[in-house]
Structure 1
Amino acid sequence: MTGEPEGAGPMMIGQPPRTRRQALGKMMWFGIWLLYLAGPVGQLLRAGASTTERLGGGLGLALFVLSYFVVVFRHMWRKSTGPLMYAALALMLTLSTALSWTLDFSWLVLFIFTSVACAVVLPWWQSRWAIPLVAAVLLAVGARYPEIRGYYFFAYGLPALGSGFMMVGVQHLIRTTTELRAARQEVARLAANDERLRLARDLHDLLGHSLSLITLKSELAGRMLPDRPSDAARQVADIEQVSRQALVDVREAVTGYRRPRLAVELAGARAALRTAGVRLTADPALEGEYRGLAADEEGALAWALREAVTNVVRHSGARHCELLLAEEWEADERRYLCLTVLDDGAGPPRAQQDGNGLSGLRERLALAEGRLETGPAPRGSGFALRAFVPVGAAPRRAPAAPEISPESVNDPA
């Protein structure tokens, strides 16, 4: 906070004035070019000028300057070409011709202002013809003065053409700057929306999993009291640990530094399923590093594992959960790593509509060029979730699937 009022900053190109100070600054910038009217004014004030010349020339000059400011400042605020603008341009061209023809060649400078006004107001497809037309009228009027035929093309004709087309370039620069400024604002808005969406997904996945685990352990501790206080104390200690880890995860999610890993999420899944009384069978491939799997793709699979296990614990009513990790070749000749989560619970809902968790998971996988498939389990009962992410490097040799033994099955606590 600098204490500076809104709109009091420097005037930006392509922006209309927002304060009186900025409007005054723009008026001074446009008004300074009126110094080029010193020639016509001096011609009116010369000693031999008649009263008719002074009155007619002064009135015509005042009307010309008024038309010039109407054109420039109306366009500055509204940026529109209407009947009033065309009428003002026609009046400026008429006054330039009449005053230059009847008074003196010094009035030819009015054509330069008319050319600039055409460039400011008219679109390019009109100004590219209007500016040469103004210059042609200037040359035709200037030809009646023999004393300037040797140089009036360079003194008046070229400046009229050059100033007009230079102002066309300035107008193009202003439009480009305005479009870039609007594009930057749109990019900033989209970036803010993406960050809010990322934060919403992270908090949903983090807190949904952690709070579900805390709820389960709290219920289990309540059932252990007062007969088994030592077991209840262990559950309370687990609750404290989970809540502290949830706080750390939320802080990391807010700062954007959290990159979940499969091995870490597998450990959390074992704890959550064991507390819920769900038997787990896990593929050993989930334990270690998977060669060729980038950090973003591994993070997407880790989020998929967390969301799937949370749904198993909260909604499925399952007694057994199975986790598989395998490579698959798709029709597009790309190699994908597939995480499969199977349970023997109630199966998919009849509505077949994703909740917030699955919708956010689909978005995460799409960002990693992957996809999500859900539906009934192959055995006919339960729910199956399959998350796919592409694998870039050469495949590693997958370990042979071991036989199911008591050591690979996590019995419920």
Structure 2
Amino acid sequence: MERIYLDHAATTPLHPSVIDEMMPLFADVYGNPSSIHHFGRESRRYLDNARETLANTINASSDDIIITSGGTEADNLAIFGAAYSNKQKGKHIITTVIEHHAVLHACQQLEREGFEVTYLPVDQNGLVDIEELRSALRDDTILVTIMYGNNEIGVIQPLAQIGEVIKAHSDSIVFHTDAVQAYGIVPIDVTQLKVDLLSVSAHKINGPKGVGFLYIQKGISLIPRLYGGEQERKRRAGTENVPGIVGFAFAAKLAQAELNERQAQYLQYKQTMIATLREEEVDFTVNGDLDCNLAHVLNVYFPNTNVEALLVNFDLAGIAASSGSACTAGSIEPSHVLTAIFGSGAPETTGSVRFSFGYGNSDEQVNRAGKMIAKIVKQLTKM
């Protein structure tokens, strides 16, 4: 049985070229980048070159890139680091109800430590209301954290406009965005987005797991979350994973070079899936506005179905999809994103599936998957 992977928003397969780039380093480049001898200097050269490549993908300086173990650590370093560093100015933080749990759980922990957090609602498409954001800003607001592209429904927030509103209120407010799902899919220029902090992860762009970065604009102070050595300009202790970082940089370089091609290809897959479901006369609706959405993410509601039954039957048919964030896989609780949009108890929260496209998919494959999905949905709705 052919298995069709339609869960690229959860994680992506390593690109063969990335594997080729990483393999020699495991055997030959083993020095500690902090060592001053030849072996250390060689590792440092690979690390510096990779950091420069990563910085170029977002129009930043290599000095602004802090390597982390992934998106979660980058989000935590940004949120806790900015909160602790600026608490003398105030303890008010603004975020949204549809953030990734790496952001939401960090904010909830800060609430337990005496910070106050405003959770902005979103509209039916998952978009933040700019005027509600403007009204929420206060004199004691120190941090705003709003994700770029949502990992469940794919909605893209108007970050540049959000950044302008924040900076017009106060230049001292730190603006962070979780760009994990958007990086490598949409163009990112940190100067145009007016963000101070930006989180990224390698495994979403056909790079290795366990590596990411946090962009920190010059002049932004963060209290570190890890203590030990003086790596990453004393902001993130721990010996760097040089093979992983080199693989990350190569995956990022590929994604940057193929950005327009990938966007068009993933959008075609999305359109093929929608067209196939319509041709098969399946009852469904798309969650979120397709006009302001990540090209690779498609969240679909199938009335009179249960997401667990859908996913189990899809898997038996060889189709890998998801109910939303992979970090909540196995949970029987409805998606917090869809609950925020449609309300608690709404059928969309228990009958929606996320399909996400990427490297290794083809239009013919997506069409074939769509027909199998339609058949399964029809069987389940009859039951």
Quickly name the TM-score band, shorter chain normalised. Answer: under 0.3
Given the two structures, how large is their TM-score scaled by the length of structure 1?
0.20
Given the two structures, how large is their TM-score scaled by the length of structure 2?
0.21
Higher Cα Rg, which structure:
1
Higher relative contact order (CA 8 A, sep 6+): 2
